[in-house]
Every structure is written in structure tokens, then in C-alpha cells.
Amino acid sequence: MTSNYTFIYDGECPFCNHFAELLEIKSKITNIKIIDGRKNLTLIKSLLAKGYDLDKGAILLKDEDIFHGADAINTICKQINNPSNSLLFLLSRLFRSNKRTNMIFPLLLRARRFALISKGISISLV
């Protein structure tokens, strides 16, 4: 039985947006739904009530399981096989390792915050 995935990201973050776009178009994961959290505030509020804050990282729903932040990126990258994009290939290999993902992820959060502030966009979604 194959799992179904829902990847929830911040659509205003240029890095998150590009990664989500690559996932949707180039990852060859057929059972994935990509959702811009800023356009789905009801879902974001319900996840926040469960302790999952999109401001602290992407959220991945895998059937009944919820992965957040570094775990979400690591889990989805492990599902990417032979992507048709060199950047996605590199990212999927880089973030397959839990250790590397946990080491690099805080830098990604800072880059997101910097990008949003420089665009004059609120960091918080709710």
C-alpha cells in the first residue's frame, strides 16, 4: 500500500515556494498534494493547535502521521528517486541524511525569515 503525502509550505517564502514547485513538477512522487499554507489558514490554525507551527518549518502529512520542519524535509526527500531536475536531485541527496538535515535546517529557517523581511512580508502566518 502506498502512502499519500500532503506537503504544506509558506508560499511567500521564495525558497519554500521553489522547493514545493520542484516537488510537484519534477519529483516523480505521484501521491503528493502541495498546499500553500498562506492560502489555507483554517488548516494552518488546526495544525498550530496541535503544536505544528508553519513558521518553524514545512509540514508533511503522511497518511495519519505528521512531520514538521527538518523531519518533514528529511521524510519527503527520502521519497524522491531519480528526479528530472539537477537541483532537486542535489537537495534530495543532501536532505536524506537526518544528521545533515538537522544541521542545515536552522540555516534554512533564517534564510526564510530574511527573505520574508526583505520583501516586507509577515513572518507569521496566523
Quote the CA–CA distance of 99 and 14 in Å, as a whole number.
Answer: 25
Question: What tens digit of pLDDT does each residue of 1-25 get?
Answer: 688 999 999 999 999 999 999 999 9
> Can you read off the three cell numbers belonging to residue 27?
519529483
Question: What tens digit of pLDDT does each residue of 23-80 get?
Answer: 999 999 989 999 999 999 999 999 999 999 999 999 999 999 999 999 999 999 999 9
Parent domain of 15: 5-118
In a domain, 11, yes or no: yes
In a domain, 32, yes or no: yes
| Confidence (pLDDT) at 126 | 75
59 membership: H or E segment, kind and range: strand 59-62
In a domain, 42, yes or no: yes
The model carries a pTM of: 0.93
What's the number of domains the chain is made of? 1
In a domain, 126, yes or no: no
124 has pLDDT over 90: no
Quote the CA–CA distance of 60 and 76 in Å, as a whole number.
Answer: 8
C-beta of residue 93 within 8 angstroms of C-beta of residue 86:
no
* Residue 15, beta-bridge partner list: none
